[in-house]
Amino acid sequence: MRPDILVVGQGLAGTLLAWELERAGVPFLVVDRGHATAATMAAAGIINPVTGRRLVKSWRADVLLPQARAKYRELEAMLGIEVWRDMRVRRLFADERERQVFAAKDVTGELAPYAVQADDAGFWIEGAARIELAVLLGAARERWHKQGKLRVAAVEAAAEAKNYQMVIDCTGVAGAREGRFAHVPWEFSKGEMLELSVTGLTAGVILNRRHWLLPINTETAWVGATHEPGHFDTIPSDSARAALEASARALLARGVEITGHRAGVRVNLPDKHAVAGRHPANPRLGVCNGLGAKGGLVAPELARQWVCHLTRGDPFEAEFSPARFAR
C-alpha cells in the first residue's frame, strides 16, 4: 500500500517531520539521495538563546527551547542514542560597542533568564545546547531503512505530488533553488568551520567572540562559522580558514592544529523565519525549509505544525506560512 505522505529529504527538517508522522500514526515514506552534500552534516548543531552582534534573544526561545529539549530527549529514548548535550556559552565582548549593547539590555532584563554573570570581559549564557546531528540522522535513517520507510533516490518533489496525498519538500538548498516555491524570497549563505586538535578545554562550555569555539571531546573542537551571503558552493576556502584560525588562536590565546575544514550552505528568509506550508497553486505539494542557523531550535516546532495541519487541519502560523509572501 502506498503511504499517504512522501517526505523528500532527510536532513534535520525531514527527520523531525518524519518522526512526528510516525508518532501520529500517519503512513509515510522518506526519499533521500544521501547526506554527502547535506548542509545539516556541515552544521555544528548549536542552540544558543542569545546570538549576533546585537545580542538578540532567539525568537520565542522561552517556548521553543524547552519544547526542543523534550523532543530530542524523546528521540534519544526511542533510538537508544545521545543527541542533546547541555552547554553554557562564555560570550566575550568583541569591542566597546558590544559591551554597551549588553549593558543596556541587561538593565531592561531583555536577555533574561539566559544572560548571567557579567564582568568586564563578557558574560555567560545559560540554556545553550548542542545537537549531535550526524548521530541523530544516522540512527533515524537506519531505523526507517529497516522498516522499509526510507528509499535512497533522487526525486522531483513536484512530479511526485500526483502520487501521494501530500509531498513535503525538505531538501534545503536544492528545493529552494529549483523554483517549486518561486514566490518565496529565498536567501543563501555559505558557512564554513574548522576542526581542531586541541586539549585543555572545559567540557560543556562554548567560547564565543565573533566566532564560536565548540569542544567536541577531550581532544577535538570546532570553530565557526563564517557567513558569505549569496554563495552556493561547498568548497572550503583559504580566506575562511585564515579567519577562523585567527579567531581560534585569539579565543584560546595559543596556537591550534587544524585537522578538518567543512563548508555548507544555509537557506534563510528576509524576515528570519522558516517556511512550512502548502504550495498556493498545488495543495498536494508542501515545503519545510529556510531553517537557517537555528534549525536545531525551530525544526521540532515546524514538524509539530505540519502534523497538526495534516491530522487536524490546523493552520500554519503566519510567521511560517509561505502565504506571507504571496503578494
Note the pLDDT of residue 3: 75
Integer Cα distance of 327 and 193 in angstroms:
37
Say if residue 53 is exposed, middle or buried (CB neighbours under 10 Å; 0-12, 13-18, 19+).
Answer: exposed
Contact 206, 213 (CB under 8 A): yes
Integer Cα distance of 116 and 131 in angstroms:
23
Integer Cα distance of 109 and 256 in angstroms:
37
Sign of CA dihedral 134, 139, 144, 146: positive
Contact 17, 29 (CB under 8 A): no
Task: Name 73's Cβ contacts closer than 8 Å, sequence gap at least 6.
Answer: 83, 84
Give the pTM: 0.94
Integer Cα distance of 233 and 87 in angstroms:
31
Amino acid at 256: V
How confident is the prediction along the chain (327 residues), in pLDDT tens digits per residue?
567 999 999 999 999 999 999 999 999 999 999 855 555 656 899 999 999 999 999 999 999 999 999 999 999 999 999 999 999 999 999 999 999 999 999 999 999 999 999 999 999 999 999 999 999 999 999 999 999 999 999 999 999 999 999 999 999 999 999 878 989 999 999 999 999 999 999 999 999 999 999 999 989 999 999 999 999 899 999 999 999 999 999 999 999 999 999 999 999 999 999 999 999 999 999 999 999 999 999 999 999 999 999 999 999 999 999 999 976
Q: Nine-digit cell at 153?
A: 533516490
Integer Cα distance of 31 and 6 in angstroms:
7
Helix segments in the chain, DSSP class H: 12-24, 61-79, 96-108, 133-146, 157-160, 173-177, 238-252, 295-312
Q: Nine-digit cell at 261?
A: 575544514
Q: Which residues pair with 152 in a beta bridge?
A: 32
Note the pLDDT of residue 34: 81
Q: CA geometry: angle at 27 spanning 26 and 30, to 5°?
A: 115
Say if residue 253 is exposed, middle or buried (CB neighbours under 10 Å; 0-12, 13-18, 19+).
Answer: exposed
Q: CA geometry: angle at 266 spanning 165 and 48, to 5°?
A: 105
DSSP 51-65: ETTTTEEPTTHHHHH
Task: Name 308's Cβ contacts closer than 8 Å, sequence gap at least 6.
Answer: 314
Note the pLDDT of residue 43: 85
Closest CA to 310 of 6, 26, 32: 26
Note the pLDDT of residue 323: 92
